[in-house]
Amino acid sequence: MPAERPADKEFLEKTASDYEKRSARVTKRVILCAGTGCVANGSLKLYDEFLRVLAEKKIHAIVELKEEKEGVFVSKSGCQGFCQMGPLVTILPENIMYTKVAVPDVAEIVEKSVAASGVVDRLLYKDPATGAHCKGTAEIPFYAKQHRFVLRDCGTIDPEDLSEYIHKRGYEAARMAYCDMTPAQVCSDMLKSGLRGRGGGGFPAGRKWELTRVQPGPKKYVICNGDEGDPGAFMDRSVMEGNPHSVIEGMLICARAVGADEGYVYVRTEYPLAVKRMRKAVADGEAAGVLGDNVFGSGQGFKLHVMEGAGAFVCGEETALMASIEGKRGMPNPKPPFPAQSGLWGKPTVINNVETLATVPLILLMGAGEYAKMGTKGSPGTKNFALTGHVANTGLIEVPFGTTLRQIVNDIAGGVTDDKGKIWPDGFKAVQIGGPSGGCLTAEHLDMPMDFDSLKSIGAMVGSGGLVVMNKNTCMVGIARYFMQFTQNESCGKCVLCREGTRQMLALLDDIMEGRATWETVELLKKLALAVQKGSLCGLGKTAPNPVLSTLRYFEDEYRAHVEQKRCPAGRCKALVSYSIDAAACKGCTLCARQCPVNAITGERGKPHSIDAAKCIKCGACISACKFKAVKA
Amino acid sequence: MTKGTITVDGKTIQLEGERNLLEAIRKARIELPTFCYHSDLSVYGACRLCMVDVEGKGMVPACSTPPENGMVVRTGTEEIREMRKIIVELLLASHEHGCTTCAKSMTCQLQALAKRLGIKEVRFKARGPQLPVDTSTPSLVRDPNKCVLCGDCVRVCQEIQGIGAIDFAFRGSKAAVMAAFDKNLCEVDCVYCGQCARVCPTGAITPKPEIDRVWKALEQKDTVVIAQIAPAVRVAIGEQFGLEPGTTTTGQIVAALKSLGFSKVFDTSFTADLTVVEETEEFIARVQKGEKLPQFTSCCPGWVKYAEQYHPELLSNLSSCKSPQQMFGSVAKEVYAKQLGIPREKLFVVSIMPCTAKKFEARRPEFSKNGNPDVDCVITTQELALMIEERGLAFRTLEPESFDLPFGFKTGAGVIFGNSGGVAEAALRYAAEKLSGQPLKNVEFTAVRGEGAVREAQIKIKDKTIRVAIVNGLAGAKKLIAAMRKGEASYDFVEVMACPGGCIGGAGQPVYKDSSVRSKRAKGLYENDKMLQLHKSQENPYINELYENTLGKPGGEKAHGMLHTHYSNRKRISDESIELTRPAGEPKLAVNVCFGTGCFLKGAQGVFKALADHIEQEGLSDQVDIKASFCFEACNKGPVVKIGDRRIEKCTPETAKAELKKALAARK
C-alpha cells in the first residue's frame, strides 16, 4: 500500500524517536544471524527454541518492537560474516557472541546470559593462535582486524524493520539529497568522494552519474546489479539480506542525482532470501512514503522494482543484464553506446553494484571529503571480500583499500591451513582474487597494499571481491582449468573468441594436465589467451583468460613441470601421478589394501605390499590410509 | 553527424556521417573481414574479425565504434593479423570440414576468409559429434554443424521479417541457433522466405536443392518438360557467371534451358500479366462495392503463409488470385496439356524462381489435381546456374534465343512484378484505364517505386484517390497492420513482398552481401519494361486470346475456377481461452494413500485405483490432488488414507469416496 503522503524530516525523526522509546523497554537483545549460511546451519530453529525456552522460564519475549511491556527482544539479523562459525548468537548489551550454537545450547544461554549476566565459555570463539576465549567481536581477531563500514549495521539490525534502519540515521542522506542538494551537487559529492564501482571494473561512480545526469530526456533508470555470480562470492547477497534499505537509499540518491524516476534491483534468483528481503524493504518503503510519486516532497517520484535474474553469470555484465530485464536473452551488446547514453529500453541508465549503492548514503552522511580519507588515494573507502579456501576463518570481511594480503590471510583469516584444516604456518601458496575473472597473487604480493590500481598492475583485479586462499598442495594449472571450465560454461556464446576460445583453452589445459602437451601447447595457450583477452566482446570474455595468464606469469615452472617432466608438483593431476609403495617403509599392515576401492593393492600381511598400476585409479585412498608414509605419489 | 577526418593506415579519410569505423575504413578501399556485419541489420559485434587498432584506445571492433575526428586507425598490425587468424582457426575447428561437398562451396565466407588470411593449419581441436541436419521443409536445409553463430539469420528473421522463427539457445560452446525447443523448421512459424539462408555466411542454412528431379524428368522420354522463368531471374543469374548485377540475360537463359533439354521455355511474366487482369478486376469490384478493403496482394508465398499464421482475420482481404507461378501451372496443366494432347501427368512443369518459398507454394495441396501438382518442380536461380555449370555451357557467350509462344509473350507490367512496388504499379496501369475509361499515357507510376520497407502513395484516378501501400520485409507488414488496426493508417491496395526489394532480393538468387546489388537488379527490371513494346497487361494479345478461347470474362466463373484460390487459418491457437494458471484461491485437497508394506498388503493399491478413477470420472482432478505416500505408522489398521487432515483407517473404496465427498462439501 502506498503511503498517503511522502515521508519528510518529521517522519524520520518521529520514527527514530518512537524506536528509541520502544527499545528502552528492551532489557536484553538476542540477535540470531539469519544469513544464508547460518540459516542453513539451523539458526531459524534456534530462534524458535529461544522463544520456547523464554516462555518456559516465564521471561517475556518481544518478537516485534511494538510492545509496551518490558522484555527480551529476540531478533534475526542479516549475515554477520563469520559464516564458518555459524550459527551465531549475539547477546546485547553485553556484546557476547556465541558460535556454532545448537538447539540444546539455548537453555544454557538463556539461563546464564539472558536471565543472568554470565557467559557460557564453551560457546565462545577460541582463538586458535592463543587458545583464549573471545567474548565478543572486539576480541575475536576475525572482527577486530576488519573495518566494518558498509557492513556496520549488517548483522546487527533487523533487516526487515524499516524503523530500526531509520533509527540508525537511515534515509537521512536521501532526504538531504532530495531536499537540501541539487542533482549536480550530489554528483559532484560522489566525484569528490572518489567512490569507484565495486562490481569489478572500478569505474568512478560519480563520473557514471554525471554522464547520465547530463543526458537529455525525461525518462531515466537506475539499476542495482545484484547478479552476483562468481563462485564463492557472497558480498552482495549479505548486504541485500542484511541491510536492504541501505541499497534502496543508495538507489534513491542516485535517482535524485541523475533524474531517474524508475529503478530495478536485479537479484539472481538463487538468492531467495535476498529477493524476499528486498521485496519487503521496497513494500515497507512505499508504505512509509519513502518511495513514491513525490519523494520527500521534491516533486520527483521513484518507482522501484525487484526483479529476479535467471541465473546466468553473464547477466552480471551490464548490457546483458539490461537485455535480461527487457525480457531478451541475456547477451552483452557492444559498447558504445554506454548505458549512460542508451541503456534500459534505450534510455539513459545508471547501473551500479549493490555494494557501491550501499556505500552512497554513508558518504553523504559523513561527507565526501571524510570518506575520501579512508583507503588509498586512488581507491578510497573499504571493500568487502568473501574469504574462502585454505584458511582458518572463512566468511565475509570488510577492509579499507590498502590493506595487505598478509593482514587478511594471517590476522583476519587466522592463517593458512592444510587440507585437513590444521594451521600450516608456511603453507601459503597463492590467492585467487576477483573470482574467475581475476588473477592470482603470490607470496611476493603479501605485503603489497591492495587497491584497484595495484592489483591491475600485476594482472589481477579486485573484481567482485572473491578471495580464495590456496595452500601449497594446490596445482595452479588445475586452478586455471577450474576457472576456465566455469567461464566456458557461463560464456553466453555470442562472440567467437569467448565461446570458442575458452573451449579451446580448456582443451589445451587438459592436454597439459594429462601429459599430452609440449611447450608449444603452452605457447599456443598463451597466444590464444591474449587474443581472447584483447578481442572479446564483453568483460566476461576479456577477463576469462586472466587465471591462465596470471598462473602462467607466476607459476611458469609448474607448467614446465607438467609438460617437460610430465609431473604435477602438487601431485593433483591424476594422469601424471603414479602411486607406489616404498617396500622399506611398508609394514604390511594391509590397511591400504583394505581401503583400495578397486583392489589394486596386494601383499601378504606383515610383508611389503605393491600397487598394480593398471588397476589403480589414483584416488589417493591408500596415501590417506597409510600410517607409515609408505605410499608415494 | 560526425565530421572531420580520420587516418587509416596513414591515409586521411574524410568523415561524412558514417555510422561506424567499418564504413569509414571502407572509404580507404580496405575491406575488413566480417561475418556479422550487415548494413541493413543491427550491429551485433560477435565475430570480432573487424578489430582494428585505434591510437589511444587499443583494439576495438570497427563495426561498433563510432568514428571520431582525428582517430588514427591501423588495420594490419601483427597483433590484428594474429587475432584474425586465431578467430578463423577457432571457427574452422568447430566447423564441419566438408567444403568440397557443401552447397556454399566457393561462396562461403569462411572458406574465402581462410584462403584470404592464408590459414595453412588449424591448431585447435575439432568439435564433438555431429548434430542432426534439418531437412523438414521443402524450402530450406539447416545444418547446425556448419553454423558459426554469427546471428545473421536470427537478426534477419527478427528484424526484417518480424518473425523470430529461430534464435539462440544454450550457453558456452553448447550455444546454438535453433527453432523453439529445437523443433524442425516445418513445425514452427517459418515462412520459408529463406532470408536466413541469404545472409548465412556459411552453408549452415541453404535453399533445398531439387536439381536431381529436373535432370531425371528431362531424361524421361515420354514426358514433356517445360520451364517458366520468373522475372527476377533474368537480371540476377548473370552474377553467377561474372556479369554485373542487373544485366539482363533473358536470351541466354532461354538458350541454356533449351540446351539442357526443355521442350518449351515460357515466361512467368505472361501469367503475371494474367494476374494483373484478374487481381485488378477483383480490386475494382471491391472498390465499387466498398468491401474487403484494403486488398492485399497474394503473389508472395512467404507473405501468404505469414498472413495465414498471424492474421487469419485478414485472409478475406487477400486477393484470391493465385500467384503468377501457380496461374502458370494451372494454365499449363489445364490448357497447354490439352493443346498438346497429353495427360497432365505427362507434362512436367519446372519453375525457375528467385525464391525458396515458391517450393513450398507449389506443394500446397490446393495446387494439385489427383495428386499431380500444377507445378512439378521449383528450382532457384542458383540451382539453374548450377545446372548450366554442370552441363558446361558457356553462359555468357550463348546465342540468345526467344521465349516460346504463346506463354512467352509478356508486357512490361508482367516484368516489373519482380520488384517491390512492381505489382502495385502493374495493377495501377490496369485500374487507371478501367476506372477512368481513358487510355493511360504515362505508364510509369514512380510514386510506388523505391527502396523503403514501407512506402505509401496516393494515386488519383479521375475523381477517385487510391491509397496504396507497398511493403517489403514482413516486419514492415507487421507494423503496417498494427497501424491499420489502431486507425492510424488506411489504404485501398497493399502490396506485400516478404523479401527486401521484392523477388529480386529473394533467397534463391545468387548470394550477395551488399544491398546495392538489389538496386541494380531492380533497375534492370525497369529497363526491361522500357525496352518492351507493351507496358499494360490488358494489351497483351495472348492474354486476351486466352480469355476469349478458354477463360471467358476476366473475373468470370471459369477464370475464377482456374486462377483463384483460398486460404486457411494457420494460427495454431485461435479464440480459445487457455487456462495457464489455476485461478487463485484454495489449493487442491490433498489425498494420500499409504503404500507402506502393511497397507499395501491390505489392499491399498485397490483403494488408490478406485479413488483415482472416481476422481477422474467425477471431474474432480482440478480440486483433488491424489498421491501415494509412505507409512503413516498405523500398519495394523491399514489401508490408511488421509483426506485433507482426516485420517481414515481400514479404508475401503466406498468409505474413501464417501469421506472425499464430505471433505469437498466442507470446503465449499
pLDDT digits (tens, 9 = 90+) for B41-70: 899 999 999 999 999 999 999 999 999 999
Domain residue limits, chain B: 3-76, 88-207, 211-563, 589-667
pLDDT digits (tens, 9 = 90+) for A393-411: 888 999 999 999 999 999 9
Assess B554–A contact: CB distance below 8 Å, yes or no.
no
pTM over 0.90: no
The DSSP-derived string for B428-451 is HHHHHHHHH-S--S----GGG-S-
pLDDT averaged over every residue in chain B: 93
Assess A518–B contact: CB distance below 8 Å, yes or no.
no
Picking from B63, B94, B167, the nearest residue to A500 by CB comes out as B94
Q: Do A537 and B48 touch (CB under 8 A)?
A: yes
Domain A162-372: give its CATH superfamily: NADH-ubiquinone oxidoreductase 51kDa subunit (3.40.50.11540)
Assess A33–B contact: CB distance below 8 Å, yes or no.
no
pLDDT digits (tens, 9 = 90+) for B559-587: 999 999 999 988 765 444 555 555 555 67
Per DSSP bridges, beta strands B624-629 and B646-648 are unpaired
Sign of the CA dihedral with A285 first, then A288, A290, and A292 last: positive
Does the fold of domain B589-667 match that of domain B3-76? no
The arithmetic mean of pLDDT across residues A301-326, rounded, is 92
Picking from A493, A531, A534, the nearest residue to B171 by CB comes out as A493
Q: Is A118 exposed, middle or buried (0-12, 13-18, 19+ CB in 10 A)?
A: middle
Report the amino acid identity of residue A182.
Answer: T
Q: How far is CA A193 from CA A188, A370, A537, B589, in A?
A: 9, 8, 31, 59
Which distant-in-sequence residues (6+ apart) come within 8 Å of B624 by Cβ? Answer: B588, B589, B591, B615, B660, B664
In this structure, what DSSP letter does residue A103 have? Answer: G
Domain B589-667: give its CATH superfamily: Glutaredoxin (3.40.30.10)
Assess B22–A contact: CB distance below 8 Å, yes or no.
no
Q: Do B90 and A336 touch (CB under 8 A)?
A: no
- Backbone φ and ψ for A19, nearest 5 degrees, come out as -65, -40
Q: Do B86 and A531 touch (CB under 8 A)?
A: yes
The arithmetic mean of pLDDT across residues A241-267, rounded, is 96
pLDDT digits (tens, 9 = 90+) for B335-394: 999 999 999 999 999 999 999 999 999 999 999 999 999 999 999 999 999 999 999 999
pLDDT of residue B575: 47
Instruction: Return the CATH number of the domain spanning residue range A578-632.
Output: 3.30.70.20
Q: What CATH architecture applies to the domain A382-474?
A: Roll (3.10)
Q: Which positions in chain A touch B90 (Cβ < 8 Å)?
A: 496-497, 500-501, 504
Interface test with B, best of A342, A491, A495, A530 (most B CBs within 10 A): A495
DSSP-assigned beta bridge partners for residue A146: none
The arithmetic mean of pLDDT across residues A209-216, rounded, is 96
Q: Do B90 and A335 touch (CB under 8 A)?
A: no
Report the amino acid identity of residue A350.
Answer: V
pLDDT digits (tens, 9 = 90+) for A468-499: 999 999 999 999 999 999 999 999 999 999 99
Instruction: Return the SS3 of B34.
Output: coil
pLDDT digits (tens, 9 = 90+) for A141-181: 999 999 999 999 988 899 999 999 999 999 999 999 999 99
> A354 vs chain B: nearest CA distance in angstroms?
26
Interface test with B, best of A500, A503, A523 (most B CBs within 10 A): A500
Q: Do B64 and A336 touch (CB under 8 A)?
A: yes
Instruction: Return the CATH number of the domain spanning residue range B3-76.
Output: 3.10.20.740
Low-confidence stretches of chain B (pLDDT < 70) are 1, 572-586, 668
DSSP-assigned beta bridge partners for residue A416: A391
> A397 vs chain B: nearest CA distance in angstroms?
32
Domain residue limits, chain A: 21-135, 162-372, 382-474, 477-564, 578-632
- What ranges in B565-648 are assigned the alpha helix state H? 597-601, 604-617
Give the percent of chain B with pLDDT over 70. Answer: 97
- In which residue are the cell numbers 557492444 written? A334
pLDDT of residue B564: 96
Assess B51–A contact: CB distance below 8 Å, yes or no.
yes
Instruction: Return the SS3 of A306.
Output: strand
Q: Do A329 and B149 touch (CB under 8 A)?
A: no
Q: Which positions in chain B touch A502 (Cβ < 8 Å)?
A: 172-173
Assess B41–A contact: CB distance below 8 Å, yes or no.
no
pLDDT of residue B579: 53
> Shortest CA distance to B342 belongs to which of B224, B500, B427, B467?
B224
Instruction: Return the SS3 of B360.
Output: helix
Q: Annotated active-site positions of B, please?
A: 279, 282, 299, 319, 358, 361, 366, 503
Instruction: Return the CATH number of the domain spanning residue range B211-563.
Output: 3.40.50.1780
Sign of the CA dihedral with B355 first, then B360, B364, and B367 last: positive
Fold of domain A477-564: de novo design (two linked rop proteins) (1.20.1440)
pLDDT digits (tens, 9 = 90+) for A532-553: 999 999 989 999 999 999 999 9
Residue of B nearest to A314 (CA): B171
The end-to-end CA distance of chain B, in Å, is 70
> B291 vs chain A: nearest CA distance in angstroms?
40
Assess B630–A contact: CB distance below 8 Å, yes or no.
no
Fold of domain A21-135: Glutaredoxin (3.40.30)
In this structure, which CATH number among 3.40.50.300, 3.40.50.720, 3.40.449.10, 3.30.70.20 belongs to the domain B88-207? 3.30.70.20
Picking from B83, B168, B176, the nearest residue to A531 by CB comes out as B83
pLDDT of residue B600: 80
**Which strand (E) or helix (H) includes residue A206?**
helix A205-213
> Shortest CA distance to A495 belongs to which of B46, B35, B45, B43?
B46
Q: How far is CA A453 from CA A203, A352, A376, A443, A450, in A?
A: 11, 20, 10, 19, 8
Q: Do A334 and B63 touch (CB under 8 A)?
A: yes
